[in-house]
Amino acid sequence: MCDTISGGVCAAEGFRAAGLHVGVKTHATWKKDVALIVSDVPCRAAALFTKNVVKAAPIRVTMGHLAGGQVRGIIANSGNANACAPQGVENAEKMCAAAAKEIGCAPEEVLVASTGVIGQTLNVKVIEEGMPELYGLLEHSDAASDAAAHAIMTTDTVKKEAAAEAVISGRTVHIGGIAKGSGMIHPNMGTMLCFLTTDCAISQELLREALTEAARTTFNRISVDGDTSTNDTCCILANGLAGNPEITEKNDAYIDFVLKLHEVCWHLARAMAKDGEGAKHLITCTVRGAKSEEQAEHISKSVISSTLTKAAIFGCDANWGRVLCAMGYSGEEFNPEEVNVTFASDAGEILVCENGKGLAFDEELARKILSEDEVDIDITMKEGDEMCTCWGCDITYDYIKINGDYRT
């Protein structure tokens, strides 16, 4: 779906990035742990945050800074969530101040984010001391986006970045981003950090609406383990350097921008679901024939969030009964006797349930289909004409190992 270009968070004009190990991660000195993203000119900004009542200090600081209406950059660290931690807000503000000093702007023009272990005091001193070197590494390049993407990783096994371009009002506009997310991921801003940049000229109000709409059908439709983090942050900076006429109304230019933003977010969301902690399979669940998009979404989310369904996919077991069961406790009313379930992958597809009843199917073929690293669960109902797709992953023994000693 996403015809990406290179550049990641640096794909848009006027954005530079860097990543560096400064010492937040004391157990892995070879891993970058602080990322910096800077625009050459002031930006408009919008952000979405976790729905968890317990919100990390960086979120509270960023919320306040967004009220200023002008942003120059983002500073983020991995290895420590700065959540429920002593001096949390103070340390988040110190990170902004250190970045602002190098950028040459007010601390309130810097957004801040953290990810990692909850409840431990952030060693902000190493971030402050490392800031001059980090700033000196800023570049507008693929390598710079790569460094920043790696610097925000925790249990992620691969970096997540994407970028795309579109012609809007006769000018080429770029949108790019990096993200992290592997565990504590659940629908509605599932555990993640995501930093998006664009050189599109767009009003503050419409930038936020575009981000909200793109997240609704991408980041809000992924799940790994049913946990929602204290630190989830998704923000977008727009510096207007593409030179397009500013988008101030929901016209064709706005629609083009939202569609391209959705593509980038779609790519990043799937990458997070696929890289779920310990995961071996990406699960894509599509519900068709629902009476509303909301009904389809609730049912699809219920299936990808089902521990038993995840376990079945891990074991390559075509146990469609677990799918139907998860549909049944989704909170949505439907007729189970008009439901078909198909498993599919690059190895083929197989109908395993028709009209709510089991079929005699080729178990060997089913296992072959479910052995692929990307598996589709296609559900057809006879309630209406709406549909929805959500993404998740299987649950494996490694998930327990990773989270059993996360703090150590």
Compute the distance between CA of residue 21 and CA of residue 14 in angstroms, rounded to an integer: 24
User: Is 191 among the residues known to form the active site?
Assistant: yes
Rounded-to-integer distance, Cα 400 and Cα 26, Å: 23
Evaluate the CA torsion angle 61, 145, 241, 99 in order and state its sign.
positive
Q: Which of 99, 78, 96 is nearest to 24 (CA)?
A: 78
Residue 245 carries which DSSP code?
Answer: P
Question: Which residue has 């727009």 as its token pair?
Answer: 238
Two tokens, residue 340 = 């078909």
Residue 250's φ and ψ, nearest 5 degrees, are -85, 70
DSSP 23: S
Residue pair 49/233 in contact (Cβ under 8 Å)? The answer is yes
Distance of alpha carbon 120 from its chain centroid, rounded?
Answer: 24
The H-or-E segment that residue 9 falls in is none
**Helical H segments across 172-280, by residue range:** 204-216, 252-274
Kind of pairing between the strands at 282-290 and 171-180: unpaired
Instruction: Tell me which residue of 112, 273, 266 sits closest to 191, measured CA to CA.
Output: 273
Alpha-carbon separation of residue 114 from 122, 180, 358 (angstroms): 10, 11, 47
Cβ neighbours for 207, distance < 8 A, ≥ 6 positions apart: 44, 45, 46, 236, 238
- Residues, the chain, total? 408
Q: Which residues contact 343 (CB under 8 A, 6 or more apart)?
A: 318, 320, 349, 350, 352, 366, 369, 370, 375, 376, 377, 378
Q: What are phi and psi of 243, to 5 degrees?
A: 80, 15
3-state secondary structure of 153: coil
The per-type count for the chain, helices as H runs and strands as E runs, is: 11, 14
Selected catalytic residue, list 50, 62, 115, 191:
191
Q: Pinpoint the alpha helices (H) of 44-183.
A: 57-66, 88-103, 124-136, 142-151
Q: Which residues are the active-site residues?
A: 191
